[in-house]
């Protein structure tokens, strides 16, 4: 018996769900949201073996979440549709609202029950225009170089303690990182607040800022 049109559609929709049903693939999507990458770079960034990373990428490509092209001998991957960013964020929102363990993990990252609400991108743009905020990009330096919010200062979590003396005690500080699954900004804000600084994280990260059409600076090579 042939499949009904509705059943056929649902079967196709589940390709997306199955493609997302592995932490490694969510990690790969997070990296692709920063910019296009080759398999070797993705494997290094995600801690996966090259062959394993390649297999996960094939799942993402078959589900239409990633596309690939050849550049010499290398295969370069990128997100096929920036709507994938919205899908990733919806997964986060639903998990935070409905899974108690997610809430416990996030509370453990911040070290406090009353962590400040994140600042939205429109508000940050206004604060930047006013020159009234210090912005910290807490991603690795290569990701910062590939694109960052204008005026943002790059500092990893390991380097954060070293820059504290250069921050004004009354400075308003906003930290951001990779997007919906990145926890670096949570950790940076917790550290800064522990030292008495007024700090918040940005809602979303660099990919969402870019997708809004806001300016992004690329470091000169």
In angstroms, rounded to a whole number, what is the distance separating the alpha carbons of residues 197 and 189? 9
State how far the Cα of 177 lies from the Cα of 157, in Å rounded to an integer: 11
1 burial via Cβ count (<10 Å: 0-12, 13-18, 19+): exposed
User: Around Cβ 3, how many Cβ atoms within 10 Å?
Assistant: 10
C-alpha of 183 from chain center: 9
Which position among 135, 177, 190, 192 bears the catalytic label?
Answer: 177
Full 3-state SS string of 16-59: HHHHHCCHHHHHHHHHHHHCCEEHHHHHHHHCCCHHHHHHHHHH
Going by C-beta distance under 8 Å and a sequence separation of 6 or more, which residues neighbour residue 68? 57, 61, 75, 76, 77, 78
Given a contact cutoff of 8 angstroms between Cβ atoms, the answer to whether 68 and 75 are in contact is yes
The answer to whether 177 is a known catalytic residue is yes
Cβ 85 vs Cβ 23: under 8 Å: no
Euclidean distance between CA atoms 213 and 207, whole angstroms: 10
Q: Note whether 64 and 80 are within 8 A (CB).
A: yes
Residues belonging to the active site: 177
């Amino acid at each position: 018996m042939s499949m009904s049109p509705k059943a056929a559609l649902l079967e196709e929709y589940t390709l997306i769900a199955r493609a997302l049903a592995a932490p490694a693939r969510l990690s790969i999507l997070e990296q692709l949201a920063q910019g296009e990458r080759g398999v070797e770079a993705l494997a290094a960034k995600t801690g996966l073996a090259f062959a394993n990373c390649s297999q996960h990428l094939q799942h993402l490509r078959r589900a239409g979440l990633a596309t690939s092209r050849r550049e010499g001998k290398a295969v370069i991957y990128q997100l096929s549709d920036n709507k994938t960013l919205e899908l990733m964020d919806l997964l986060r929102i639903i998990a935070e609202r409905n899974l108690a363990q997610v809430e416990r993990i996030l509370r453990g990252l911040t070290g406090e029950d009353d962590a400040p609400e994140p600042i939205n991108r429109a508000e940050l743009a206004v604060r930047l225009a006013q020159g009234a905020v210090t912005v910290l990009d807490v991603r690795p330096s290569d990701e910062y170089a590939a694109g960052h919010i204008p005026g943002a200062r790059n500092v990893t979590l390991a380097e954060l303690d070293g820059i504290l003396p250069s921050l004004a005690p009354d400075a308003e500080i906003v930290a951001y990182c990779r997007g919906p699954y990145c926890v670096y900004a949570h950790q940076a804000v917790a550290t800064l607040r522990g030292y008495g600084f007024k700090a918040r994280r940005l809602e979303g990260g660099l990919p969402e800022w870019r997708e809004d059409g806001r300016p992004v600076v690329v470091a000169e090579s």
